[in-house]
Amino acid sequence: MHNEQLFDHKGLQIYSLLLLLHLHNNHTHKSELCTALKITSPTLSQLTEQINAFDPQLLTVTRHEVILNLPYNGQAVNALNAQILASSLCFQLLDLYFKYSHLTREETARILNISLTSTNKLIGECNALLSEFKLELKQNMLRGSGIQFFYFYFNFYWNNHAKGSALKNVVISDHGFKEYAQQKLGSQLNIIQNDQISLWLSLLSSKHELIQSYFSQEETKPLFFEIKETPLYEALLKYFKQNWIFLDKELVEYYSYLTFIFLNTYNIISYPVTEINSLFKHSKCQQLLEQVTTILTNSYNFNTDFNSLRSSLYFTINKLLLLEGYYYSNNSLNLEAKKEVSQPFEEKVIAEILNIPLAKQFSLEPHKLQAIQDNLKMMIYPHKNMKRNCISIGVVSQLTIATRYAYITKIQNILSKGHNISVNDYREEADYDLVIADFNLHDLTKFKAPVLFLDDLEIQSNIDLLEKEVSRIESDMYQPLLLQ
């Protein structure tokens, strides 16, 4: 689930318009915006008028372009996004069902000031969003397991915190966890980590009366008993006994179980501390983590980022194995932009990871498989130019020395952001993966490598041709580890 799915139709259009402007350096042609948003020119005019009615300083509309006058993270844009979200009936409904444990449809209709027919339709739309989390608005309650309930609402409120729609009427506190983590868990929490655990614990605290009913659903699960054998669970048990003295024994155990899963799916305390103290009997996370890491490090040189890679993989894998559904922290447009520049090489890497026998055993639902692919793309994206195989390119040129080196530098600049390359003057005794010429060569037989003619690197079609050929060579170099 993406957070944008909470917006109503018009709100989503406004949000997407602002985001598209941000992704295109704050200005875009009207025709491009209409195509991307799948709207007509009159509708675009209506949207820009609505935005400028909120703040006349936000947009400048010329004959051909729409210009965002402020940085995307500017206070005015955030305030507008918060207003859009707060007006969404879907957001309001889900917010209500956290604040009120029991709410009839008639009460819901009255609070939202809509008809009963509209309420029934709205509940159906929200249930469509909740289904992947195995949650459902049914019989006047939000029904499902406790861990799914709190997992969903943690993301629901956390992802909307920056938009000014954080949980209201609940005191957000770390309940002494920051100090306990430092003294007993070997972890110094940063601001974000402390805010996240504070929100999590405050959600648990505010729903104390609901816990008992959810606890009865999960106390007999094998996972509950396996987690109880881990050192991290024991440490959490001590924390809740010391700091939550109003809980009885059973609920102390359940709070510890819920928070164990939370700490294994979000990077709150030190990753090495979390991993080594969370091993339980039938956990497949560590084994899968090792296999995925092996494939990635066989293809990319992560250098000093290796620990960050393992950490990201660990929490992502656990999120997919221990929880139902996936709540994206990225907006969908940003994610799509990264997908568009996906390379054949990384597609092969990701395909091999998905074909790991252990991964296939889980028979993950389509939305989880998609989440794996999306997360891997996000992890790989900053390391596109750190592939282990370096592509050697020789340049044959009739240009003068100064102009020739400018030509070579241009090739390096075009390719270096996404590929591991070496570009030099062509020498007959050297071996190359690709030869580039700035003039037509009549005799190609002396070249062992493929030859690409590029006379002008200012032409976009030539740049696209260069990128395509290097990506093809790179893809052909990929060496899978899994035996067929």
- From its phi and psi, is residue 279 left (phi > 0), alpha (psi between -120 and 50) or beta? beta
Average pLDDT over residues 65-73: 79
Tell me which range, 68-72, 96-100, 114-118, 368-372, is most confidently predicted by mean pLDDT. 114-118
Report the pLDDT value the prediction gives residue 79, as an integer from 0 to 100: 76
pLDDT > 70: what percent of the chain? 93
| pLDDT tens by residue, 400-421 | 888 999 999 999 999 998 999 9
- Expressed in angstroms, the distance from the first to the final Cα of the chain is 34
> Is the per-residue pLDDT at 434 higher than 50?
yes
Contacting residues for 124 by C-beta, under 8 A, at least 6 apart: none
> Is the per-residue pLDDT at 167 higher than 70?
no
Report the pLDDT value the prediction gives residue 163, as an integer from 0 to 100: 46
> Is the per-residue pLDDT at 215 higher than 80?
no
Q: Strands 141-143 and 136-138, how do they pair?
A: antiparallel
Name the pLDDT band for 153 (thresholds 50, 70, 90).
very high
Burial class (CB in 10 A: 0-12, 13-18, 19+), 417: exposed
**Taking a C-beta distance cutoff of 8 angstroms, is the pair 426, 435 a contact?**
yes
Contacting residues for 55 by C-beta, under 8 A, at least 6 apart: 76, 79, 80
Tell me which range, 53-62, 121-130, 135-144, is most confidently predicted by mean pLDDT. 121-130
* Distances, alpha carbon 163 to alpha carbons 21, 149, 199, in Å: 18, 22, 16
Annotate 348-381 with b (16+ C-beta within 10 A) or e (fewer).
bbbebbeebeebeeeebeeebeebbbbbbbbbbe
Annotate 89-125 with b (16+ C-beta within 10 A) or e (fewer).
bbbbbbbebbeeeebeeeebbeeeebeeeebeebbee
> Is the per-residue pLDDT at 120 higher than 80?
yes
Average pLDDT over residues 35-58: 90
Contacting residues for 158 by C-beta, under 8 A, at least 6 apart: 196, 199
Total Cβ atoms within 10 A of residue 466? 19
Average pLDDT over residues 278-286: 85
Mean pLDDT of all residues belonging to the chain: 89
> Is the per-residue pLDDT at 371 higher than 70?
yes
Nearest-angstrom CA–CA distance, 164 and 81:
8
Nearest-angstrom CA–CA distance, 450 and 435:
6
Domain extent listing, the chain: 3-86, 144-281, 285-385, 389-477
Domains 3-86 and 389-477 in one fold: no
| pLDDT tens by residue, 128-150 | 999 999 999 999 989 988 999 99
**Range in 162-166, 229-233, 458-462 with the lowest mean pLDDT:** 162-166
Nearest-angstrom CA–CA distance, 239 and 314:
24
DSSP structural state of residue 387: B
Q: Strands 451-453 and 434-437, how do they pair?
A: parallel
Residue in 287, 295, 296 with CA at minimum distance from that of residue 318: 287
Provide the 3-class DSSP secondary structure of residue 138: strand
Nearest-angstrom CA–CA distance, 123 and 316:
30
Q: What is the number of alpha carbons within 13 Å of residue 339 lying toward its C-beta?
A: 12
Q: Nearest 5°: phi and psi at 216?
A: -65, -25
Helices (H) and strands (E) in the chain, counts: 23, 9
Report the pLDDT value the prediction gives residue 29, as an integer from 0 to 100: 94
Residues in the chain: 484
Contacting residues for 218 by C-beta, under 8 A, at least 6 apart: 145, 146, 147, 224, 254, 257
**Taking a C-beta distance cutoff of 8 angstroms, is the pair 240, 252 a contact?**
yes
> Across the beta sheet with 65-68, what order do the strands follow?
27-29, 65-68, 59-61
* Distances, alpha carbon 366 to alpha carbons 360, 370, 372, 439, in Å: 12, 6, 10, 49
CATH class belonging to 389-477? alpha beta
Report the pLDDT value the prediction gives residue 247, as an integer from 0 to 100: 87
Report the pLDDT value the prediction gives residue 164, as an integer from 0 to 100: 46
**Taking a C-beta distance cutoff of 8 angstroms, is the pair 336, 265 a contact?**
no
Report the pLDDT value the prediction gives residue 74, as an integer from 0 to 100: 64
Name the pLDDT band for 298 (thresholds 50, 70, 90).
very high
Beta strands in 356-397 (DSSP E): 391-396
Residue in 204, 209, 215 with CA at minimum distance from that of residue 174: 204
Nearest-angstrom CA–CA distance, 241 and 260:
15
Name the pLDDT band for 169 (thresholds 50, 70, 90).
low
**Taking a C-beta distance cutoff of 8 angstroms, is the pair 59, 33 a contact?**
no
Report the pLDDT value the prediction gives residue 168, as an integer from 0 to 100: 64
- Fold designation for 3-86: Arc Repressor Mutant, subunit A (1.10.10)
Report the pLDDT value the prediction gives residue 86, as an integer from 0 to 100: 82
